[in-house]
Amino acid sequence: MDHLSSGFSDVDHSSDPSRFASCLVTLNSLSYFQDYKRKSFILMGAREGSRVLEVGCGLGFDAISLRGIVGRSGRVVALDSSLAMVEAARSRAKDLGLAIEFMLGDAGQMGFENGSFDCARVDRTLQHIPQPEKVLAEMARVTRSGGRIVAYEPDWGTFAIGSGDRQVTRKLEDFWCDNFKSGWIGRYLYKHFQRLGLVDIQICSSTLLVTDLSLAEKVFDLSKNVERALSLGLLSMSEAIAWLKELREDDLRGVFFCSYTGFMAVGRKR
């Protein structure tokens, strides 16, 4: 079974890559994501004529936005480890008549020369990488002196589900978090940026609140997470049934709730 928590690290070998594309489309439609993305574009200092690197481009939504910011005189290079994602992003940009360099590659070992870009950005990609500090180091290497690096990442240790069963809920929240390669990356961004020697570092947080169960299923894979935990013996069948029943009843009463907090870091290369 393809799982959103672990499957994004290897989309091309999943049984249904469209499931991950559908998740990205849903996230891109939400105001929470639109708001922090706009802020990240400002913080990275992208402007007319800038050379911009987007790491983990997915379906290309953010690269397309950056193309509009840098204009015809600028350059947007967008990298992803998934061929399916790169091809979908290229198709989307081509349909819009936009010149964006979508590339398949390893963000931990990029083939660009030192200082190739004016700024670099990564968004919800480091959570899927076991050694995210290597990607951030590469981003710093290929960014020019004085250029900015921006990262937005969730901290899945902050994942909260409004259930009355604390024991089962804690198990499932931790299980979701631990299935990411780097589920706590949000809280480590400041440390990583400091270790890279970046200056003028800023960290800000924002929290996504979801009060609709159907949306939570699309974003957080709740039922599939329960099924997976059940198959591994982390829950009993009665616990799983009762927990999901409570969420559905809360949703019908209009009191369903879950959330997570994400962190955005920006730093300037000396």
Q: What is the pLDDT of residues 149-164, one digit of tens each?
A: 999 999 999 999 999 9
Tell me the helices (H) and strands (E) count for the chain, helix number first: 11, 7
**Mean pLDDT over all residues of the chain?**
97
**pLDDT given for residue 125 in this prediction:** 98
Q: Which residues contact 192 (CB under 8 A, 6 or more apart)?
A: 132, 133, 136
Q: What is the pLDDT of residues 34-87, one digit of tens each?
A: 999 999 999 999 999 999 999 999 999 999 999 999 999 999 999 999 999 999
pTM: 0.96
- Element of type H or E holding 69: helix 61-70
Task: Catalogue the long-range contacts made by 37-41 (C-beta closer than 8 Å, 24 or more residues apart).
Answer: 37/62, 37/65, 37/123, 37/152, 39/204, 39/264, 40/121, 40/123, 40/150, 40/152, 40/264, 40/266, 41/65, 41/66, 41/69, 41/121
Domain 4-157+180-207+260-268 falls in which CATH fold? Rossmann fold (3.40.50)
Of the candidates 24, 20, 18, 28, the one whose C-alpha atom is nearest the C-alpha of residue 3 is 20
Tell whether the model's pLDDT for residue 1 goes beyond 70: no
Indicate the domain borders of the chain: 4-157+180-207+260-268
Tell whether the model's pLDDT for residue 226 goes beyond 90: yes
The number of beta carbons lying within 10 Å of the beta carbon of residue 80 is 26
- Name the band, by pLDDT with cuts 50, 70 and 90, for residue 2: confident
- In three-state secondary structure terms, 24 is helix
